[in-house]
Structure 1
């Protein structure tokens, strides 16, 4: 059995789809299944059992002998939420519980960290574990992810294999439920569909022109490929960046979305809201050398190809991965 937490969410459900495709059918799906807006993500997938998030600790105590691997993808990911207690409960303490069960029962673990741990990027974007203690995230979500990374590195007892993956800007199918927290591509598609136009944040930084703020965008299918690689690899534990390794502009992203929709680009600019302006990242780019060094050789999908696939195969037909 393979456990996937956050199973009904964006990345977790896509991971289950890939596991099914690879012949893994004994999936234990863990989530808060009361949130019905995510139910479409699991339709058509082969799952052995659904386990409520709050029941996982007890379930593991009873069934650990049958578990082969744990993907801990579930988290509270809302970067606009500022109640630290929510993140302490769902992102830090829950992750500690899973880690301790993996230690006790010798279960291999891959868990989701985040590029939000890097803050404004003043220390760069290298997944050097010795530098993690000095990172300064910009919000409680990033703090919670960094806090768990630091805690994991400090533990004397670790799972025999574990990897924390710092997800950069992930986009792709199955994010229909995410609302404001969905990718810019998702919002661009819907805005262009409705108005034929797209508005982007104006630059308030002298080194960047409007629309040329840059992010490392990674297609969810590439992210899932890395997860599958690590499940089979089970060597070289540690914390790894997971982006494409190439920063691209928001203007590139929106232009590619227009093109994938067969429309002429019509982009205008609005001021970045004052309440987030001082915490706005103008550049992120994952250094992917560490993952490459352990033998991961697959190329990452270009932004243009990823957007074309996402728009034409999924968004245009409201299809799930």
Structure 2
């Protein structure tokens, strides 16, 4: 059996689909299973068992001998949430329990970290583990992810294989439920569909023109391919960046969305809200050499390819992956 936590969510539900496509059908999905996510993201998938998040460790105590691998992708991901207790409970302490269980039962583990750990990027975006204790995230979500990365590296007891993945700006199908935390592409599509125009944040940094803020946008289909690779590889434990390796502008994202929809570009700018202006990242780009160095050689979707696939094969018809 393969366990996927956060399985009703965006990335994890795509991973379940990819596992099914590779003929892994004994999937145990762990989540709190809100109706909207379960009915959409998990509908039609081959799943062996549904386990509630709060009962997972009791279930694992009874079934660990049958568990081959754990993907721990469940987390609170709201970057606008500032209640540290929420992140300590769901992102830090729950993850510690997953780690300790994997140590006790010798189960290999891949878990979700985040590029939010890099903060403003003053120390760069290299996934060298020596720099992790020096990072200064810009919000409690990033803190929670970095706190767990630091904790994991400090442990003497480790799963025989483990990997933490610093997800950059992931986009793609199965994020219908995410509301304001969905990708910019998702929101751009819906704005253009409704109004025929798109609004982007104005730059408040003299080094960047309006629309020229840059992110490393990575398509969710690439994310799940890396997860599959690590499950099969099971060597070279550590913390890895997971982005496309190529920063692109929000303007490029917008223009590609208009093109995929067959709509003439019409873009306006509004001030970035003051509530996030001081913590706004103007540039992120994953250094992907570490993952490449252990043998991952698959090409990543370009922004053009990913946006076109996402818009035309999923968003237009409201389809799931």
TM-score between both structures, scaled by the size of structure 1 = 0.99
Q: CA RMSD in A?
A: 0.4
Q: Deviations over 1:134-153 (max 9, x none)?
A: 00001100000000000000
Distance across 2 between alignment mates of 1:204 and 1:150: 32
Distance across 2 between alignment mates of 1:229 and 1:155: 25
Runs of 4+ in 1 over 6 A off after TM superposition: none
Q: CA deviation at 1:177?
A: 0.2
- Report whether the alignment pairs 1:144 with 2:144: yes
Instruction: Structure 2 unaligned segments of length 5 or more: list them.
Output: none
- Report whether the alignment pairs 1:107 with 2:142: no
Aligned to 2:51: 51
SS of alignment partner, residue 211 of structure 1: coil
- Report whether the alignment pairs 1:187 with 2:187: yes
Aligned to 1:232: 232
Distance across 1 between alignment mates of 2:290 and 2:268: 38
SS of alignment partner, residue 70 of structure 1: strand
SS of alignment partner, residue 317 of structure 1: coil
Q: Deviations over 1:22-80 (max 9, x none)?
A: 000000000001x1121210000000000000011111110000000000000000001
Q: CA deviation at 1:275?
A: 1.7
Q: Deviations over 1:217-259 (max 9, x none)?
A: 0000000000000000000000000000000000000100000
Aligned to 1:169: 169
TM-score between both structures, scaled by the size of structure 2 = 0.99
Distance across 1 between alignment mates of 2:202 and 2:92: 35
- Report whether the alignment pairs 1:65 with 2:65: yes
Q: Deviations over 1:280-319 (max 9, x none)?
A: 1000000000000000000110001100000000000000
- Report whether the alignment pairs 1:38 with 2:37: yes
SS of alignment partner, residue 176 of structure 2: coil
Instruction: Structure 1 unaligned segments of length 5 or more: list them.
Output: none
SS of alignment partner, residue 110 of structure 2: strand
- Report whether the alignment pairs 1:2 with 2:2: yes
- Report whether the alignment pairs 1:246 with 2:246: yes
